[in-house]
Amino acid sequence: QVHLVESGGGLVRPGGSLRLSCAAFGSIFSIVSMGWYRQAPGKQRELVALITSGGSTKYGDSVKGRFAISRDDAKNTVYLQMNNLGPEDTAVFYCNAHAPPSDYWGQGTQVTISP
The reported pLDDT for the residue numbered 70 is 97
> Whole-angstrom Cα distance, residue 75 to residue 81?
17
44, 92 contact by CB (below 8 A): no
Residue stretches of the chain with pLDDT short of 50: none
The reported pLDDT for the residue numbered 69 is 98
